[in-house]
Structure 1
């Protein structure tokens, strides 16, 4: 596990951008955190590093937003609405095994669909400072352990 603290939304985006420089085709990133923790803010930074110039917004009502104009396609998912199941009907494995980067908000609702290897990032608000966030990186699998090591070095 790697832990990193940021003091602003801009800093959250910078960490997302640093990760965006390192991701490869088929990368799967799970973002966990309360409402307003900064999951979409993190994704905006990652998207910018991929060269995506479109405005990135939460896919809460559409479930999946596809951005294909960057170095790699970005599949931004918000599966909060699948709290009662239904992820198997979306064909998520096609995204997870595809040529793009999958970023999933609220992944606990599709846990049965998780691939064997992934990077889980917990974003937690720091109680003493409304802008500060603690980012906890939990790599699953050698590929993501190496990715997190590279990220730690870059930060």
Structure 2
């Protein structure tokens, strides 16, 4: 994880994870990409739920595992929630309009789960959030920036006192 900033926070409940996510929402701009890593059930979709709610999305946000892509357009900016878990080949990414959402020129923010399946198709600039399950159900969220825009995004998010992110070395 070279060439970027890394911050972390541990949350103790799903509501706390959503609250942390809500503190990121004010800083998101169209074209931003957030990659979510973590095991099944780690809380990736809960994080997206928190951001989407803070952006004004009223539609229930669910896991896109079986849909591959779910779009939420009624908030401050559109939310594109991708789940690449069920894809087998990188050429399937074209069928879901993946590249237009992650090229930095999109009209909304893209959240991508399981992007590590296609490392050669990762965007140049993205904020990576790794969610791991800790003792007694707590979630450790590690945020790392890749690229100038995501570095700026992580800086302002970490400086928001409500996020309570702590700098860490990995």
TM-score bracket relative to the smaller structure = over 0.9
Residue of structure 2 in register with 1:129 after alignment: 136
Contact 1:52/1:67, CA 8 A, preserved across alignment: yes
Closer, same or farther: CA 42–99 of 1 in aligned 2, 3 Å: same
- Kept in 2, the 8 Å contact 1:39–1:105? The answer is yes
**Number of paired residues?**
153
Corresponding residue SS for 2:27: coil
User: Cα offset for 1:87?
Assistant: 2.0
SS in structure 1 opposite 2:143? strand
CA distance in 2: counterparts of 1:83 and 1:139, whole angstroms: 27
1:60 matched to 2:65? The reply is yes
Show structure 1 runs of 5+ residues with no match. none
Secondary structure at the counterpart of residue 130 of structure 2: strand
Residues in 2 aligned to 1:70 and 1:23: alpha-carbon distance in whole angstroms: 12
Q: Deviations over 1:14-54 (max 9, x none)?
A: 11111111100101000000011000000000001110000
What 5-or-longer segments of structure 2 have no aligned partner? 1-5, 164-170
Q: 1:120 aligns with which of 101, 117, 128?
A: 128
Partner of 2:144: 138
Task: Using structure 1 for the length normalisation, give the TM-score.
Answer: 0.94
C-alpha RMSD over aligned residues:
1.2
